[in-house]
Structure formats: structure tokens, C-alpha cells
Chain A
């Protein structure tokens, strides 16, 4: 495999940062994100000949990231610690920042599959059908997980006060 686009090394160099950002959104912790991506790539490495042969190796690795992340559910305690408030709060809109921070912290408390659905929907902008494939579940299950996640987020006062009573949510209208 001499093509850097399909070689394992080339893939890690090219897509590693993107995968890490994705993993960071899932885990909420830099160390865990590195651990997660390393675990997923180590698994993919063993099957790379096949991964490279399929049309989109990144989709293959991304699925391993998601399944590995969900598999941590029983093996690891929820060790995520919300990251400290960054310095840029001084120049940011304070109210918006507080809301975003509240969402970030509330998402850290969500069950992993619910959080994965939110990340795949609103960070990766993936349709529910694709999320269902990644999670290995039915599309209806994706909507159900999203609905439960929204219900949990709405219970947070800082979120409910601003966004919780707005227009009907996407999954409730489908």
C-alpha cells in the first residue's frame, strides 16, 4: 500500500486530528479522546487490508471509534471531567457561553449512546439513518435516544430557561 491516502500511516496522519476532535466531542476529555482513538486505530490496524479495501476507510474507523466508545460504558467509570472554563470567556458573550458550558457539562452526564447520537447529529451533522448504521441500531432507536437526551438536557435550569421551551424538537415532529 504505497498510496499515502490508503496506507495506515498516511490515514492516521491525514485523518487523525479529525478523529481526535470527534473523540473529544464524545468523551469530553483530551486524555480519553486520545485513548479512544488509539484503541480504535489499533483495532483497525489489525484489519487494515480490509479497511482500505472498502470504499471509505474513515467510515470504517469512525464506526470502530463509536463502538469502542460505547463499549467503555461497562469497563470504565464515567471519568470525564468538564474542562475548565477557557480564558476566552472574557471576550465571548457571557450568556451564550454559560449556556454552551451548561450543555457541555450536561452532556457529560448523559449515557454514552445518547451522547453519541447528539455528537453525530449536531457535531458531525449526520442523518439519523447513518447514525443508526454507526451505532448498529434501528433509526427509531436513534430518535428515541435523542429524545431521551433532550429530556435530560431540558432538566438543566440553565438550559431549560433559554432553549428548553422553544420550538418542537426535530425528533418530536417525526
Chain B
């Protein structure tokens, strides 16, 4: 260490006794968490209500701050990370996963089939805080709409007063009438464990009940994706030779798991014929990381969040040593736009981004894939 380096070290250490002592750090953090949750929740409710054209009702349904639960009580308890075999979906249904909760809706329904946030046909909607433009599109009559929301203190949760059990975990369930929509029933299931509310608005009370009956809490969804995945900092499963090639050998299966805030937000199994194409795309990627084009801007805060938003592609093999291979892909953020198997990191390109978006969509703003450098 030379003189200047020593001087910098001395200057920094000489000052550390002036640092705050942290006597109230824990209580201050809890207060900040409470404010953040309230702000996030309010934003989500405002967006949802604005798209439904009922902004004027917001004041009436906001929870009374004085009666808000303490922040610790609001924390979603962890779902036990038991690696169970993927459950088999009921016949003629499609599974939609969110935060460790799997909802089954008829196979011909839409997923997020909305325009400006307004349902346009029978659909399941993941209300994960994405902003939607409110353009006052009229909703077709007679729709059944399932909403999956991350907030346990959703206004709809108030109608769920009956204690029930879902997948062995305590839950609450109830029925009511949606505000201003007397022709439909509102059926609500509150799952405090994963911190999710599932609600169904439908003119068919029996259908609404059946949809809630089918909801389950899973550590691994029917595609095989884990409910949670630490995208930043976790070690990927190791497979010998992974430093030389992104995808080794000839995987026979692949699934794409999309995570936001490290929670599962979407999943899809890759068709066998498409597995080869996906491997080809990945193995053609050059080493390095991609840079967004000039038209892309994301705030630093969003970029920090994007560390916990991305895709995990999990390949399976039929060979004798079936070590799994995960490839983590980030398509948004300030830097680190890449695909990585933990040993080899490559740039991303438009074919890969398109493949992933087609399979499971994305819940954030991402740079134009044709402008990646």
C-alpha cells in the first residue's frame, strides 16, 4: 500500500467512530417498511380502481391507517420450500402461478386478456402493480374475471371472513357483491401464507366457487418452477463444462420460470421441438453482457429492482448424471443484461428475448431487443 492508499485508509478509519450508533435502527427500518408497504399497496389499488373507472371510490375503500396491522403481521410467511413433484393440473384447465399460488382456469380463457386494464373476455389477471393506462374501455357483459393480487390487505379481502384451509395452510374465504356490479358475485380467497388474494367476479356463483376450490399453494408449480428464486447472489446448479458452453449436451426438457421480486410470476414448459431451437439460440450468444440502446432509460431504483426480476430457464437431461442446468436471463436493468449458467455469462439478443416474452411475458419495462449492443 503506497502513501496515498494508506492515507485514504487512515482517513476512512479515523472517521468511523463518528458513524451513527444505530440505537433505533430496527424500529426505524420497521417504520420504513410499513410506509413502503402502504405506498405500494395504495399505488396498486389506485391503478386497479382507475382502470375500472371508479377513482372516486378510492377514498371510501382505503383502509384506515389507524387500524393498520403492524408491519411484521403483514409479512407474508414463507411457504415451506419443499421440493415436491409438480402436481398434475385438472383436465381442460390451464394453470397460472403467482407467488407460490396456483390458480386453474379453463384452458380457453385468457391470461391478462385486458385492454387498458379492462377485461375483454373471461380471463385471469395478475395484479402485480404494473401500471395500466386508463382509457375507459367498456367491459363486455357477463364475464368471469379471476384476479390474483399480492396484497393481503386488498379491499376485496374484507368479504373473506370464513376460516378455511388451503393446501394445509390457514386461509379465509367469503362472498360479496362487487361495488357497482350487483349482477355479479364476488368470491374471495385470502391466503396469508404466501400473501395472496384470489378473487373471482362472475355472474355464475357456482363457477366462482369452483374456481376458488381449485386454488392451491405450491412450493413447485405444475410446470416445475419453484415459487421463489434468488436471482441475485444465489449459486446456480453446477454442471461440469458449463464455463465453455451455456447449455451443455442435449437437454430433453426445458421450462421457463419468470420471477419478479424473486417470486414466481409466470411459467411455461417449452415444447420438445422448441427445446432444440432454444438451445441453439443460447449457445450462439457471445460472451459478455449487453447494453441497452439509446432509447432505453430506467431509473437507478428500477435497475436495483431488476436485479430480482428475470427468467430462469431450467434444462433437464435424460442422461445418467442428470445434474440440472439453470440459465438465468436478465433482459432489463442498468447493466448485466445477460444470460448466465453461473460459469459462463453471455450477451442476450432479440431471438432470445422474443422467445422468453412469447413464453411467459414480462412484468417490467425492458429495452428494445433489436437495439441491444
Expressed in whole angstroms, the Cα–Cα distance for A108 and B361 within the complex equals 43
Q: Does B88 make an interface contact (CB < 8 A)?
A: no
Interface footprint category on B: 35 or more
Interface string of B24-56 (1 = CB under 8 A from A): 011011001100100000000000000000000
Determine if B301 and A75 form an interchain contact, defined as CB atoms under 8 angstroms apart: yes
Determine if B26 and A13 form an interchain contact, defined as CB atoms under 8 angstroms apart: yes
With A33-B19, A67-B307 as given contacts, are A12 and B26 in contact (CB-CB < 8 Å)?
A: yes
Q: Does A131 make an interface contact (CB < 8 A)?
A: no
Q: Which residues of B contact A16 (CB under 8 A)?
A: 22, 25-26
Dominant SS among interface residues on chain B? helix
Determine if A45 and B8 form an interchain contact, defined as CB atoms under 8 angstroms apart: no
With A16-B22, A20-B25, A71-B301 as given contacts, are A169 and B15 in contact (CB-CB < 8 Å)?
A: no
Expressed in whole angstroms, the Cα–Cα distance for A123 and B14 within the complex equals 10
Interface string of A131-171 (1 = CB under 8 A from B): 00000110000000000001001100001001110111110
Least CB distance, A48 to chain B, in whole angstroms = 8
Least CB distance, B302 to chain A, in whole angstroms = 9
Least CB distance, A18 to chain B, in whole angstroms = 9
Q: Does A116 make an interface contact (CB < 8 A)?
A: no
Expressed in whole angstroms, the Cα–Cα distance for A34 and B18 within the complex equals 12
Expressed in whole angstroms, the Cα–Cα distance for A154 and B78 within the complex equals 51
Chain B residues 140-161 with CB under 8 Å of chain A are none
Determine if A163 and B230 form an interchain contact, defined as CB atoms under 8 angstroms apart: no
Q: Which residues of B contact A100 (CB under 8 A)?
A: 7, 10-11, 14
Q: Does B321 make an interface contact (CB < 8 A)?
A: no
Determine if A67 and B28 form an interchain contact, defined as CB atoms under 8 angstroms apart: no
State which of A13, A70, A123, A163 has its C-beta within 8 Å of the C-beta of B300. Answer: A70
Q: Which residues of A contact B304 (CB under 8 A)?
A: 43, 64, 67-68, 71
Residue of A nearest to B13 (CB): A123
Q: Does B2 make an interface contact (CB < 8 A)?
A: yes
Give 19 A-B pairs besides A25-B12, A75-B299, A100-B10 with Cβ atoms closer than 8 angstroms. Answer: A12-B29, A24-B15, A24-B18, A30-B20, A38-B25, A38-B28, A49-B228, A50-B234, A54-B234, A63-B233, A64-B304, A99-B11, A104-B12, A118-B8, A122-B9, A137-B335, A154-B4, A162-B3, A163-B2
- Chain A residues with CB under 8 Å of chain B are 9, 12-13, 16-17, 19-21, 23-25, 28, 30, 33-34, 37-39, 41-43, 45-47, 49-51, 53-54, 59-60, 63-64, 67-68, 70-75, 83, 86, 96, 99-101, 103-104, 107, 118-119, 122-123, 136-137, 150, 153-154, 159, 162-164, 166-170
- Chain B residues with CB under 8 Å of chain A are 1-16, 18-22, 25-26, 28-29, 32-33, 36, 75, 78, 81, 228, 230, 232-234, 261-262, 299-301, 303-304, 307-308, 335-336
